[in-house]
Amino acid sequence: MPATILIIDDDELFSNTVSFVLEQSEHEVLTASSGVEGLELARERRPDLVLCDVHMRNGHGYATAQALRERPETKGVPIVMMTGNASPFGESRSRISGADYYLAKPFAVDELMDVVRQALTAKQSEAQRSHHVIFPSGPSRVS
């Protein structure tokens, strides 16, 4: 299921590598090198998934995740936090900030694709649940 995925990371080589992998699975990839740029791009393009680095030169990924959750247009977008300094504290802080998933760098391509699939499947399931029409039980009478 091709999707639009936004990568927010100030490491250009890393972003390019992850972009290449995701594009091989026919996803459209957007990249931003800062949280501010990522928030603007997310507002404009409304991605299906956001991959966000925790530590960036121009801001923290935690603040970016929290801002994504606070904006109506990105509130329901799954967020994967990525970090080179994984820890239980970092994972907990990521969840508090609004992230749905946590990936420790470096990660294998299979790990990345598993998380992407999980996040997109969960989003699709949520969308289907919210679009179900519930009819009252029993016969209805039309006059």
Per-residue pLDDT band for 141 (boundaries 50, 70, 90) equals very low
Helix (H, G, I), strand (E, B) or coil at 44: helix
Domain boundaries, the chain: 4-130
Question: How are strands ordered across the β-sheet holding 28-32?
Answer: 28-32, 4-8, 49-53, 79-83, 101-104
Q: What is the DSSP secondary structure assignment for residue 2, as one 8-state letter? A: -
pLDDT tens-digit readout, 114-128: 999 999 998 777 655
Q: What is the pLDDT of residue 124?
A: 76
User: Quick one: tokens of 34?
Assistant: 């800062």
Partnered with residue 4 across adjacent β-strands are 28
User: Quick one: tokens of 23?
Assistant: 């594009």
* Calpha distance 97→60 (Å, rounded): 11
Q: What is the pLDDT of residue 136?
A: 42
CATH code for the structural domain at 4-130: 3.40.50.2300
pTM of the model: 0.86
